[in-house]
A and B are shown apart, each in its own frame.
Chain A
Amino acid sequence: GAVVSQHPSRVICKSGTSVKIECRSLDFQATTMFWYRQFPKQSLMLMATSNEGSKATYEQGVEKDKFLINHASLTLSTLTVTSAHPEDSSFYICSARDRAGATWRTDTQYFGPGTRLTVL
C-alpha cells in the first residue's frame, strides 16, 4: 500500500518550453501533496504544498508563476515548469499524505520515484 507514481521519470526539453509532471497516489486518497526539488547529493528542498481543490502554498523564494501546481483530485497533482531554463534542471520529487486511516498514516509522506528534468 501507499504507492505514489510520477510521470514522466525523465524529460529533456528546450529552453523556453513548458513541462508538466504528474504525481498520482495509486492506492489511497491524498488530501495533501508536496513538491520537492533535489540537487545531486543534497537534501530535499520543499517547493510547495498542494491541497485538493485549493491553491498551492509556495515556500519562500519559489516563483509561483514559474512552478504552477494543480491538485484537481484526491489522487492527482501536477507541477508545470513554465518557460523552463537550464537553471531549472533538477530532480523533482512529489509526495502524498494519506487522507484517512490511523493518525500515523496521515502524518507520513509517501514519495514518488522522481522526475529528472534537463533543460537544454
Chain B
Amino acid sequence: AQTVTQSQPEMSVQEAETVTLSCTYDTSENNYYLFWYKQPPSRQMILVIRQEAYKQQNATENRFSVNFQKAAKSFSLKISDSQLGDTAMYFCAYTGANSKLTFGKGITLSVRP
C-alpha cells in the first residue's frame, strides 16, 4: 500500500520569505501523480500543484514549485514570496493505478505579517 508522510505538523514563515514543506512517500508503482493541496480556513480544498512521476522536470505554478526526487521518494513544496493568503493547511497526496488519493497528515502553515 502507498503511504504519504508529512512529518512537520506546523510551520511559520515571515511574509515575503520563502518556505519549504516536506513530503515523502512510499510506493512500488512506477506511474503515479503527486499533488499538493491547500486547505484555508474556509476548508475548501484547492489544488496547488501537480507532478507526473514520469516527468523529470519539477513542476512550477507561479510562486509555488516542487522538488521532486523520484529515487528518494521525496516531494517538497517551496513557496516563494509568502503572502498572508498562503496561511492554510497543506496536504501532500499521491494517486496511482487505483485512482484513489492517499493524503499525508497535513501541515499547518502560518504566514506572519
Contacts and interface: CB of A to CB of B under 8 A. Distances in A.
A67 interface: no
Interface stretch (A12-20, A22-30, A74-82, A89-97): A89-97
Interface residues of B, number: 22
B33 A107 contact: yes
Contacts of B78: none
Interface on chain B toward A: helix, strand, loop, or mixed SS?
strand
Contacts of B105: 42-43
Contacts of A44: 45, 91, 101, 103
A8 interface: no
Chain A residues touching B, majority SS: strand
Given A104-B33, A107-B95, A108-B35, A46 B100 contact: yes
Interface of B: 33, 35, 37, 42-47, 50, 52, 89, 91, 95, 99-101, 103-106, 108
